[in-house]
Amino acid sequence: MLWVKAFHIIFVVTWFAGLFYLPRLYVYHSMATDSISIERFKLMERKLFYGIMTPSAVLAVLCGLTLFIGYGIGMKAGWMHAKLLLVLVLIAHHVYLGKLMIDFKHDRNGHGHKFYRWLNEIPAAPVLFLVVILVVVKPF
Ligand code: HEM
């Protein structure tokens, strides 16, 4: 069980690395005007999303579900139910970042850099704080 939890935490960390870095790339991509930079951002975004973020998300969730369903940890616990709700928000945010990547790929981005500066923090940062507090402190 501890090996599964160790890998769960490792993949959560690599997932969040992408959740914080991809919107940062969008900040600079939305301000770029020369085609060399624009093509470089498209390549970086694609590699980050498909090469790191999505595999990390899948492995983090699979390890988490193994702990939850396989070992029955937190099965009837309020903290776990609240955590799962927040994880759904995170998965929806991940999918939305993917949709924005495809918009950028087709040069049809509709947002300015200020929007992406907010997206860089929300909802990833508050969800990270809340989920880690829920799973470590188990307040209810
Ligand atoms: C469907 C997704 C997820 C499920 C089913 C899940 C489930 C679990 C379970 C059952 C544990 C063991 C808790 C314990 O031993 O007390 C755990 C540990 C942990 N989870 Fe998740 N988790 C998921 C996603 C996440 C996410 C997205 C984060 C980060 C934001 C996260 C952060 C952690 C941390 C830090 C621990 C270690 C807690 C400790 O050892 O005290 N998990 N998870």
The predicted model gives 68-84 an average pLDDT of 95
86, burial (CB in 10 Å: exposed 0-12, middle 13-18, buried 19+): middle
Q: Which is the closest atom of ligand 1 to the Cα of 68?
A: 10
Predicted local distance difference test score (pLDDT) of residue 67 = 97
Q: What is the pLDDT of residues 20-46, one digit of tens each?
A: 999 999 999 999 999 999 999 999 999
67 lines ligand 1 (CB under 6 A): yes
124 lines ligand 1 (CB under 6 A): no
- The residues spanned by each domain of the chain are 2-137
Q: Which is the closest atom of ligand 1 to the Cα of 74?
A: 10
What is the rounded distance in angstroms from the CA atom of residue 119 to the CA atom of residue 19? Answer: 10
What is the pTM for the complete model shown?
A: 0.94
Residue 84 Cα to ligand 1 midpoint, Å, equals 9
- Quickly list DSSP for 83-137: HHHHHHHHHHHHHHHHHHHHHHHTT-----HHHHHHHTTTTHHHHHHHHHHHHHH
Contact 57, 92 (CB under 8 A): no
Query: pLDDT over 90 for what percent of the chain?
Result: 99
Predicted local distance difference test score (pLDDT) of residue 132 = 98
